[in-house]
Amino acid sequence: MTQTVPATAVLGPGKTGLTIGVTVLNIDGTEYAAFSASGVAETSVAGTYRKASGVTVPDAGGYLVWGESGTDYAEATVDPKPAYAGTEMDLVDAPNATAITAIQSGLSTYDGSDTSGVTTLLSRLTATRAGYLDNLSAGAVALQSTLSTVASNVSTILGRIIGTIASGTHEPQSGDSYARLGAPAGASIAADIAAISAGTGLTAQQTRDAMTLAPSAGTPAAGSIDDLLGDILEDTGTTLPGLMAAELSNTSDSTASGAITRTRGNTWTINATIGAITGYTSLWFTVKHDKDDADSDAILQIKLNSSGSDDDLLYVNGATASDSTLGTITVSDASTGAIVIAVDETVTDDMPAGAFYYDVQVLNSGAVTTPDSGKFTITA
């Protein structure tokens, strides 16, 4: 017996664009199904592969070994198929013959004329016990009578209360009798609203002052919302619509540790903070199809030397850059590792769209470290 299970392998960004297949092993490690790449395709997540329609494995469970032909990269365990009630109980598909035989035997020996049980019950019903039953019956009748009396009394009380409210010495309660604000003694809600409309309530200016707002005409008060908004626009040197338009024009670009997205054909300005790099010798920013690719095959590589020579843009799309000045790295603050990576639009226009590997490396005191790396996505 076999079972079909979902099959997905996460090999990581370093294993993209490969011909990945799967080998199925029995629970004892022997081969159940030979290596096959049929139906296996890379998903939208770089380095993640999935076999369409799942993999057929033994009911007893086993192992899925992922990799290329002749090279294994990862192994996953497949649990045994769970047992269902129908496979464990013999009464699901066919009746238990032994049980049926026992039932039929019992029915064949039943004697309907045997009334010994009834006779025993009657013999135990003594006169005293019969009296108990009579008392219980009389008590039930008395209880019913008492409940009827209680219901009648409650009805009478309710009638008197309603009569007092509706037609006694008090007027029925309705309308403005309940609707009192309290502060203007004797006034109703309707009267208070009328007073506000007539000008005895807050004026428009008083309402603005209460909300710490300034009127449309006049100078905003210090600390008011109008004043704070004015400060924001003054600091940014533009209007609020201008700020919104600037943000909307960059909605497809994002920068986070381990994930950078940029639009092809745009000028790239990438701000990153990678930790203290005081005393560095060199910095590299590299984008590759795969982490293991040679630097000379990089989609993009920029270098900064502390000496100020032999640096800037080195490689573009696997070839030496024709103009090294079109890509730069600037250190804003070495103590925090704040850097700015800039790439001219004439370079990014030639970039392929897709998901790639990137890293930032530092040479300091003779040692190379990689403080930041991850997925670099280029959108068309």
Q: What is the pLDDT of residues 294-321, one digit of tens each?
A: 999 999 999 999 988 878 999 999 999 9
3-state helix, strand, coil split of the chain in percent (to 5) is 30, 30, 35
Q: So what's the pLDDT on residue 60?
A: 94
CA 207/CA 268 separation, integer angstroms: 48
Q: Which of 288, 253, 260, 291 is nearest to 274 (CA)?
A: 260
The 3-state DSSP class for residue 205 equals helix
Q: Which of 262, 244, 245 is nearest to 253 (CA)?
A: 262
Please answer whether residues 299 and 318 qualify as being in contact, where contact means their C-beta atoms are separated by less than 8 angstroms.
yes
CA 357/CA 102 separation, integer angstroms: 74
- The token duo for 314 is 């080195």
Per run of 10 residues, the mean pLDDT along the chain (length 380 residues) is 94 95 96 96 96 95 96 95 65 63 77 70 78 73 77 80 59 50 58 62 62 60 70 59 50 86 96 96 97 96 90 95 96 96 97 97 96 96
CATH fold for domain 254-379: Immunoglobulin-like (2.60.40)
CA 186/CA 205 separation, integer angstroms: 29
CA 262/CA 251 separation, integer angstroms: 10
Q: Beta 338-343 vs 8-10: how paired, if at all?
A: unpaired
Other Cβ atoms within 10 Å of 238 Cβ, number: 14
Q: So what's the pLDDT on residue 328?
A: 97
Other Cβ atoms within 10 Å of 271 Cβ, number: 11
Q: So what's the pLDDT on residue 42?
A: 96
CA 166/CA 158 separation, integer angstroms: 12
Q: So what's the pLDDT on residue 248?
A: 45
